[in-house]
Amino acid sequence: METAAFLLSQLGAHASSQFLARAAELDLTGPHVGVLRAIADDPGTSQQALAQRLDILPSRVVAFVDDLEDRGLVRRERHPSDRRSHALRLTPTGEQVREQLRVLGAEHNDRLLAPLSERERVTLTELLAKVAAAQGLRPGVHPGFRHLGR
């Protein structure tokens, strides 16, 4: 029998590649999805705060935000309390794409966990959250961001 660590790694790689293939249909990469999600979760966040949350260099955040802004998904506004900073928000188009990603993510989760009952899904999710927390992983932040430069 395989170890839990191996199975988690195997499933993680599989789940990630499957999700990224679907996100690519929306012309988005994993980092784009992560940045959109982080801005949606904290509207008005600054680029600096976003870099800290995602644990990547601010210059990388600027590049991703520039790209998303060029696509009309994100807008920068002067921060109300710090004129040197920009508040980041999703545009209406960005909100629509974020909703498409939410649906895509729910469908992906359902496909991946199809063999499990609802009770088993809840239990598995709780156990995985417990293990992730014990490893110091931040909720909602993919550890792959660390490979983008820090």
Report the CATH number of the 13-148 domain: 1.10.10.10
Domain boundaries of the chain, sorted by first residue: 13-148
How much is the pTM?
0.85
Q: According to the model, what pLDDT value does residue 150 have?
A: 42
- Per-10-residue mean pLDDT of the chain, 150 residues long, equals 93 94 94 93 93 88 94 90 86 97 96 98 97 89 62
Residue with tokens 């590649």: 17
Contacts (Cβ under 8 Å, ≥6 apart) of 45: 38, 39, 53, 87, 88
Strand order in the sheet with 86-90: 45-46, 86-90, 74-78
d(CA 123, CA 105): 19
d(CA 97, CA 33): 10
Q: According to the model, what pLDDT value does residue 110 have?
A: 97
